[in-house]
Amino acid sequence: MSRKQEVIKKLDKGYDPELDQPLTDLDFIDEVTIKGNHVEVQFRLPTYWCSPNFAYIMAEDIRIYVSELD
């Protein structure tokens, strides 16, 4: 499994708090960039009026799950 595939697998654990579906299934993950041990995940919000709390929850989930990788 490639590093990017490992990251995507971890991102499957992140859910939209309102829709209760994985961010990956909702196509909210725009880009995954890996440079050495640094991973950058760009994601989008479902709407421009998305609650800042929901945006924070999704970003925090991404950080937590991707940080589980070596």
Q: What is the pLDDT of residues 7-66, one digit of tens each?
A: 999 999 999 999 999 999 999 999 999 999 899 999 999 888 989 999 999 999 999 999
Q: Going by C-beta distance under 8 Å and a sequence separation of 6 or more, which residues neighbour residue 47?
A: none
Q: pLDDT category, 1, cuts 50, 70, 90?
A: confident
Domains: count for the chain: 1
Distance CA 25, CA 21 (A): 7
Distance CA 42, CA 31 (A): 5
DSSP 3-state of 43: strand
Q: Provide the residue range defining the domain that includes 31.
A: 3-67
